[in-house]
Chains A and B, each alone.
Chain A
Amino acid sequence: MAAVEFVNATRTYEGTKQPAVDDLNLHINDGEFLVLVGPSGCGKSTSLRMLAGLEPVDGGSIRIGERDVTSIAPKDRDVAMVFQNYALYPHMTVAENMAFALKIQKVSKSEINKRVQDAAKLLDLEPYLDRRPKALSGGQRQRVAMGRAIVREPQVFLMDEPLSNLDAKLRVQTRTQIAELQRRLGVTTVYVTHDQVEAMTMGDRVALLLDGVLQQVDTPRALYESPSNAFVAGFIGSPAMSLVSSSIADGNAVVAGFPIPIERSAINNLNNAKSVMVGMRPEDLTVNAEGIPMEIDLVEELGADAYLYGKTPSEVGAPVSLIVRVPGDTKLTRGSRVKVKPTRTYLFEDSPTGKRLT
């Protein structure tokens, strides 16, 4: 077990100008479960593959524990990886798949047997040890891939979207199992996903990437509570935060005619900008006599809660989308008009990745 550190790590693919991973600085503590998350093409998988040694590092360095592994071959890094499509060895049985790395290390037969049996027990794979991957279901293959990583007892686990090929129910179930397993084994884990729910529920900390640039790395709670920019705010949370570009008048941000006061500290940060990005989470909006006018397009009833999806009416400027959380017994229906008042707002510079102002 060891800490992992990316120091100014950069990777540029041949024939492209923009780096896939741009100057990544990230410290992952010993035993930590860190989730790399972001939309497709954000460089999360590339970062993981750089750590595994499957992708060269064009600039900067990567350390595992005390060792600089930047130019060390994958086989000598002592990391275990779970691939998206599992990458099981097709001609080997489940037991042979799990034993492969140990055999290469020339671990004694009895030790290999013991470790494979232990992992199989842990993952409920005992009845399948003599089967080939072909004869297994998706969930079982996923567990074999996990088992192959576990028996290694490596310094770091790397997981590249290991749940994306499972059906929804199994995914939720396996999600908890993996998180629990990692806590039990205490092995430093880097986990890549594009699913923010997975990121929030599994990670000790979450690192959010966009276009190869690290946006923010923090605990799930902190990412939700204090996003450092508009992109993080919009990406984390489900349903997403409503982000509205609004003009400024008399120290207020005006959203569809409704003024929202801007704090003094934020005004100082604004540098005389003419507009500002206002972020409002669904739970921070309440239906009220006074507020932002909204026409409901869709009521999503989830039982305890319901979400109103709607737009501001076109009479008061270009329509902007809003999502509002209301109690589950709401009488509101599609087409009705309401006014919603924000109880808490987040202010950002007016751009898709605008910096947080308050």
Chain B
Amino acid sequence: MPAFSARLWFSRDLREVRLFLQKAKSTTKKTADKAKLKGLLYPAVIFVIILTQLPFLLTIVFSSINWNLLKPADRQFVGLENYATVFSSGDLIPALIATITMTTMAVVSSLLLGLLFALLLDRKFKGRALARTLIITPFLVMPAAAALSWKFSMFDTNIGAVNYFAGLLGLPEPAWITDYPMVSIVIVLAWQFTPFMMLILLAGLQSQDQEVLEAAAVDGSSTWKTFQLITMPHLRVYFEIAILLGTIILLQVFDPIAILTKGTGGTKTLSYLLYERAFIGLNVGEAAAYGVIVVVITIVLATLALRTLFSVFTRGVRA
């Protein structure tokens, strides 16, 4: 019976592995065994390194090469020259300012709107499930599609819905994208990221112990005081996660800028500048240098974000 013997063989094999592991555990001082155990991990570690670190290493390599796609023959190692160009070009500081302004405005506005909707959707009412689904849809729309529909059906001076309603109400009808490029992009981003913030904050609200809220009510606390003194402290960690994750995603935003303003009117963020240097300026080396700078900023923020996440998890374990 081959099937049976195969199973027998397999189970014996498993037992051997277990015995080996037990032995290894009991004699961890034997460095040879330890090394053997660690050796089992290397394939996975190498795979992860190839998948995540190689592209970044390549970007660093590119950033030290003078490489213009128009002159493919003229490729050579130039050290930090690309970084020197980047820092002296006068593009970096405005791009940094644009990135920070856009990210801050988008994060803050989507966070506030997200909190508002989270509070509304935390209540019980008929059709709550439907309302929740609807409120999440902007987050599911492709960024480019969202930017396009805002560009034409909302902001357009002739056919846009925003100015149509502004006209009905007798309000001024500006050329949104031309007159307020930054505000227009932030509106699109806030529209897209409100659901993201809302989901995180709603999870926070739903994880709150209802008995605690009742205790506060019996203790004489008004709804507003309870929100301020009990709910907000409870939501603090959720705010931290929302802000940090939101910031990391919004730092890399590209689609609405490319579609609405093409980086004009002070909306040329680092990621759009990078795109321009690579695909319009065709200067791979310089674009890679910008890329490295963006990655460094993002890594700093991601480290902070991960730390917050871990503190939330350990808190959950301890509670």
Contact = CB atoms under 8 A, between A and B. Distances in A.
Interface band, chain A? 20 to 34
26 contacts: A52-B214, A52-B218, A75-B218, A75-B220, A75-B222, A77-B218, A78-B220, A79-B218, A80-B218, A83-B215, A84-B211, A87-B209, A87-B214, A87-B215, A90-B234, A90-B319, A91-B233, A91-B234, A100-B216, A100-B219, A100-B221, A101-B219, A101-B221, A104-B221, A105-B220, A148-B219
B112 interface: no
A54 interface: yes
Interface string A205-245: 00000000000000000000000000000000000000000
Interface in A80-107: 80-81, 83-85, 87-91, 100-101, 104-105
B302 interface: no
Nearest to A91: B233
B126 interface: no
Nearest to A82: B215
A189 B29 CA distance: 64
B71 interface: no
Interface string A59-77: 0000000000000011111
A27 interface: no
Contact of B225 (A76, A83, A88, A104): A104
A83 B230 contact: no
Contacts of A158: 218
A100 B218 CA distance: 11
Contacts of B221: 75, 100-101, 104
B212 interface: yes
A54 B213 CA distance: 10
B319 A81 contact: no
Contacts of A78: 220
B119 interface: no
B219 A73 contact: no
B223 to A, nearest CB: 9
Interface of A: 52-54, 73-81, 83-85, 87-91, 100-101, 104-105, 134, 148, 152, 158
B93 interface: no
Contact of A81 (B218, B225, B234): B218
Nearest to A73: B217
B196 to A, nearest CB: 25
Contact of A89 (B212, B220, B225, B319): B212
A302 to B, nearest CB: 38
Contact of A83 (B211, B220, B233, B318): B211
Most chain A beta-carbon neighbours within 10 Å: one of B214, B230, B233:
B214
Interface of B: 209, 211-212, 214-222, 225, 229-230, 233-234, 318-319
Nearest to A78: B220
Nearest to A49: B214
Contact of B318 (A76, A79, A134, A152): A134
B126 to A, nearest CB: 12
Given A90-B234, A134-B319, A75 B217 contact: yes
Contacts of A148: 215, 219
Contacts of B225: 104
A91 to B, nearest CB: 4
A77 B219 CA distance: 9
A101 B225 CA distance: 11
B217 A90 contact: no
- Per CB-CB distance, the 9 closest pairs between chain A and chain B, nearest first, are A87-B211, A101-B219, A87-B215, A74-B217, A91-B233, A81-B218, A75-B220, A87-B212, A104-B220
A134 B319 CA distance: 6
A240 B32 CA distance: 68
B220 to A, nearest CB: 5
A351 B210 CA distance: 40
Contacts of A77: 218
Given A104-B225, A134-B318, A134-B319, A81 B212 contact: no
A87 B222 CA distance: 17
B218 A54 contact: yes
A218 B266 CA distance: 80
A54 B214 contact: yes
A158 B219 CA distance: 12
A134 B318 CA distance: 8
B234 A80 contact: no
